[in-house]
Amino acid sequence: MEPVLSVENLKKYFPVRSLLRTIAWVKAVDGVSFDIYPGETFGLVGESGCGKTTTGRTILRLIQPTSGRILFQGKDVTKLKGKELLWFRRHAQIMFQDPYSSLDPRQTVFNTIMEPVKFHGIKVDDPEEFVIKLLESVGLNEMHLYRYPHEFSGGQRQRIALAKILALRPDFVVLDEPTSALDVSVQANILNTLKELQKDYGFSYLFISHDLGVVKYMSHRMGVMYLGKLVEVGPSTKIFENPLHPYTQMLLSAIPVPDPEIARELKAKRKMVKGEPPSPINPPAGCRFHPRCPFAKDICRREEPPFVKVEDDHYVACWLYAKS
């Protein structure tokens, strides 16, 4: 099967300026590659500041990439202009984290949903009926048609944002922490709606989150990011059952366990994530995780580990699995 999206060696560096001169670069995304297939959810996880949100926004060209290729349905997104860029903007959408700021407070739900439809020249016979159907498919109804965003709860606003995305019938959606600003019960409802919509419409999702439990529930495959680089990629079930990279192992150890007895036993066995990630302005040489890694050896401080296939489609960048 051909991927919907292929990201190849994507880099995004931000300049650090002083007195109008660039004195350094923040290497937010530094050589990331992965594929997303039709109907698949690819989860991207890591601590805050690891570059996952920048990756999502760069893929959509909300931020211009520094280098690398982004192939969407075979076309290199980094080179699109004019009508082709508009085509891409319609077929690749984003759902933002903050439902309070992602909607225009002066627009009714009807206008919010119809505005991009008109902009992209999509013909609709009966706009009211069209919007009501969309609202119903995300768990709202016609009573909400002419209301304003301030009249809705956070979860309902995310549903409106979802209806707006659905109206354009995209093939690919970046979900950037779509539920992290919501209450837990509302989170579950939105996640289930996203799954149902994927089943009905065949969307491919890039699901960005720092919440590993949510990523496990949502994703078919996932990538773990550390300081601008992917360190492990594979099927979510395999990564949760058998995490290979020491950073992934530490992230999984940090998931809270509700039973205090089990939590005590696990704490004795597992290693917790220690320390803060170093600055992406001047990342450590060799393996970027080496200052925090309990298994670091000499080569880890000198040379960057290659990405190696350990089994089927499970890959890891760590000298514990690569030949030096």
Q: Rule CB under 6 A: which residues touch ligand SF4? A: 245-246, 287, 289-290, 293, 295-296, 300, 305, 318-320
CB of 295 to ligand SF4, least distance (A): 4
**How far is the C-alpha of 230 from the C-alpha of 228, rounded, in Å?**
7
CB of 45 to ligand SF4, least distance (A): 16
CB of 245 to ligand SF4, least distance (A): 6
CB of 64 to ligand SF4, least distance (A): 31
Residues in the chain: 324
- The phi, psi pair for 84, rounded to 5°, reads -70, -35
- Which CB, 43 or 243, lies closer to ligand SF4? 243
- Which CB, 146 or 295, lies closer to ligand SF4? 295
Q: What is the DSSP string of 288-317?
A: TTGGG-TT--HHHHHSPPPEEEEETTEEEE
Q: Tokens 């419409």: give the residue.
A: 201
Half-sphere exposure (Cβ direction) of 256: Cα atoms closer than 13 Å: 2
Tokens of 167: 């109206």
Q: Tokens 């209806």: give the residue.
A: 163
- The phi, psi pair for 144, rounded to 5°, reads -90, -5
CB of 231 to ligand SF4, least distance (A): 7
CB of 276 to ligand SF4, least distance (A): 16
H helical segments located in the chain:
52-59, 82-91, 109-119, 127-137, 154-167, 184-201, 212-218, 236-241, 246-253, 260-269, 298-302
How many of the other CB atoms lie within 10 Å of CB of 191?
18
CB of 171 to ligand SF4, least distance (A): 35
Q: Any bridge partners for residue 10, and if so which?
A: 32
**How far is the C-alpha of 163 from the C-alpha of 150, rounded, in Å?**
17
**How many angstroms separate the Cα of 24 from the Cα of each of 16, 101, 207, 291?**
5, 32, 30, 22
